[in-house]
Structure 1
Amino acid sequence: MTPPAAGQVRVLLVEDDLRVARVNRDLLERDPEVHVVGSAATCAQGDALAQALHPDLILLDVHLPDGSGLGLLRHWRTQGRTTDVALITAADDEASVRLALAHGAFDYLIKPFTGARLAELIARHRARRLPGSAGAARLDQGRLDRLLGLNQAAPGPLPRGIDPHTLDRVAQALGTSPRAVTAEEVGELVGLSRVTAWRYLEHLVRSGQAVLDHQYGQAGRPVKLYRAAVEQGNGD
């Protein structure tokens, strides 16, 4: 199966309230690179679609007509399915939250939630993804920390004009590039103008997530090249 392009997210919704499912789909697809590839109203339908569609992310309700979403999540984990799963539910008791996390849910949204919180969930999912085939990839500590969500910058307001979802897409494009790239090249990858891509790249440099190099030896001003910052191991 071909790995998804950087930034693209294929989502499966498992939600028995059709009105809520439609609202969630509309919120998700405000991001042009998020695609709801299927919607299920029961545990049985959700299991079948998960097997057939191989989504990148599953958004799962707890209270379903034929069982519990927590039971479905446990079933997927015992079957070896490692797809990112987040709970979106009215179940606000501590026991449900603890069970969801114990069975490997990476996020938990309590209804009602805001569109911004849902967008944050998608950004967290993107940040957890690793380039290449998950089965073949070998991890250094920096990549593992990223998968675990341990090396994300401390939360705080972004500068004016910096959209968190666009920033995540730029960071993903930079992190998956095998070489240093220009702002123009990043803009082409992400669908931004050169100037806009440059602004986001400069923010990544200031926040320590990217490194700026200069290529000299050509006529005119030196070319600015950007590459993802890489943590150095301790050699053990």
Structure 2
Amino acid sequence: MTTTAPLRVLVVDDDFRVADLHRDAVDAVPGFRALEPARSIGTARSAIAEHRPDLVLIDNYLPDGEGVELVRSIDTDAIVLSAASDAETVRRALRAGAIGYLIKPFDSRALRERLERYARYRNVLDTADVEQDDIDRALSIVHGGPATTTRSATEQMILTTLGAREASAGEIATECGISRATAQRHLAAMAARGIVDVRLRYGSTGRPEHRYAASRG
């Protein structure tokens, strides 16, 4: 059985008590692992180069500069955690590439929510090729927007192809002219929303095949 490696998070804050609180909050979220916190931009750069974290949680006011400037210079996802609440700092952080901004002080549940959103965002984009509706869904997730309930063009095409019959992801992919992975991803998403039903059919090898049909409910 394969397991998914936890997402590694680097906390950057010069207040060791705050840094430790944020580190513990990260470790409390399933699927995440906090690295040893960094106390400055310099130590953060070294930690990023050595450990290559998936996500950086960074304060803006640090002894050797502004966290926003570090965000601008690294190729790593980042969320700014700062007491700065002026619109200009927030805009600068977003222009620098931060995917989120939390104003201190905040409840630990707010950080947990952002981390859980980030995990879902990564899951949506964890594929070699994405379609426009994947990008739209990922951005909606990471920015806290409501999940889209409308069907994408690809989903509508899959439903039209399914019609009143039952078919596998491979069959649908061939008829729609899309990859099997794309068909599987959309079928799984529609199954989770109750748009299609999933059935198992056992062949001669004994291995079950997933078959899909439009829901009658």
TM range (shorter): 0.5 to 0.7
Please report how far the alpha carbon of residue 207 of structure 1 lies from its aligned counterpart in structure 2 after TM superposition: 3.6
Residue 131 of structure 1 aligns with which residue? 126
Q: Does 1:212 align with 2:173?
A: no
Whole-angstrom CA distance in 1 between matches of 2:80 and 2:211: 36
Distance 1:51 1:154, change over 3 A: same
Residue 28 of structure 1 aligns with which residue? 26
**Residue 40 of structure 1: SS of its match in structure 2?**
coil
Say how many residue pairs are matched.
167
RMSD: 3.3
Aligned residue type for 1:92: S
Gapped runs of 5+ residues in structure 1?
156-177, 181-200, 228-236
Q: Does 1:142 align with 2:133?
A: yes
Whole-angstrom CA distance in 2 between matches of 1:150 and 1:19: 30
Residue 77 of structure 2 aligns with which residue? 84
- Give yes or no for contact 1:127–1:149 (8 Å, CA) kept in 2: no
Whole-angstrom CA distance in 1 between matches of 2:57 and 2:73: 15
More helix by share: 2
Whole-angstrom CA distance in 2 between matches of 1:131 and 1:206: 19
Q: Deviations along 1:140-169, whole A, 9 cap, x unmatched?
A: 1232223323698727xxxxxxxxxxxxxx
Task: Report the identity percentage.
Answer: 33
- Give yes or no for contact 2:78–2:98 (8 Å, CA) kept in 1: yes
Residue 172 of structure 2 aligns with which residue? none
Please report how far the alpha carbon of residue 21 of structure 1 lies from its aligned counterpart in structure 2 after TM superposition: 0.7
Whole-angstrom CA distance in 1 between matches of 2:108 and 2:191: 28
Please report how far the alpha carbon of residue 32 of structure 1 lies from its aligned counterpart in structure 2 after TM superposition: 3.5
Q: TM-score, normalised by structure 2?
A: 0.66
Residue 64 of structure 2 aligns with which residue? 66
Aligned residue type for 1:11: V
- Give yes or no for contact 1:212–1:224 (8 Å, CA) kept in 2: no
Q: Which runs of 4+ in 1 moved over 3 A?
A: 150-153, 203-208, 223-227
Residue 7 of structure 2 aligns with which residue? 9
- Give yes or no for contact 1:127–1:146 (8 Å, CA) kept in 2: no
Gapped runs of 5+ residues in structure 2?
148-180, 213-217
**Residue 213 of structure 1: SS of its match in structure 2?**
strand
Equivalent residue for 2:48, pick from 50, 69, 72:
50
Q: Does 1:98 align with 2:91?
A: yes
Larger CA Rg, structure 1 vs 2 = 2
Distance 1:26 1:74, change over 3 A: same
Distance 1:226 1:34, change over 3 A: farther
